[in-house]
Structure 1
Amino acid sequence: MIVSLVYQVTRKLLTVPAMLLRRDTAKNAELLVLRHENAVLRRQLTRPVRYEHADRLWFAALSSLIPRRRWAQVFPVTPATLLAWHRRLIARKWDYSKRRRRPGRPSTAGDVKALVLRLARENPRWGCRRIQGELVRLGRPVGSTTVWEILTAAGIDPAPRRSRPTWRDFLTAQAESIIACDTSRE
């Protein structure tokens, strides 16, 4: 334990002069500080670090800038892990399963469905063909079978016999003629 600690400290101390002799000494010194801080924080962890997808992409992109022999010192994962992430990234690029279109016709827009149901409720004697004709007139061309399916799914009878006239409707519509019939008998 102590031998490995002495080895690690000696190794870090020997890399300091080499890094400081380069042109970008301030940047390299900052990198050394950050690496040491990273090593200290990793020693305090109790379980392995889980990297997110963005972290994996970042490591994979940076791996092309660093020589492969230095990967073990630079990256927090093994080279085999980095290569496996890269393989998965390439495989995902050529996997078109999420980009495929769903089979069948596209569904009807929600506003058209709402308009069909509104026309059916406000005009109980209209059938699906009449509602379809009104939609075409309003600039929303939809097939009559689509109107039929929308009404059926909503639990409304798509035929014009949806609601037969009640006695009240009949008497209201024929009130004048009924009164005229009753008065002409005398």
Structure 2
Amino acid sequence: MPISLTTLLATLSSIFRSRAALGLENLALRHQVGVLQRSARKRPKLTSGDRLLWICLSRLWRDWRSALAIVKPETVVAWHRAGFRLFWTWKVRHGQPGRPLISREVRDLIRKMCQENPAWGA
């Protein structure tokens, strides 16, 4: 299809899209141009920030696949899954294992109530 016809169709279709969708598409396209300029004459090198941007766009914008040109959509989905796994791995390793501790005051109160009311829990 000639470039002028493609441009005309893209312009006509942009009339019916929301302002937010156009803004997100503009952000996505400008980002890809920046990545390509940053890695001139080489295969595009994506940083963690680049990957995070595409993960966020994929969550916020329904039509994100249409603006994606430098990587495959499946790659972005794989990044999202890998990030999800990393988050939960980190959370499990850095969290407190087991049941949370009960404060000393609460334990003393429970013992006191138990001694004062021997018929409870029978």
In the superposition, the TM-score normalised over structure 2's length comes to 0.50
- Of structures 1 and 2, the larger Rg is shown by 1
Which of the pair has the greater relative contact order for Cα pairs under 8 Å at 6+ separation? 2
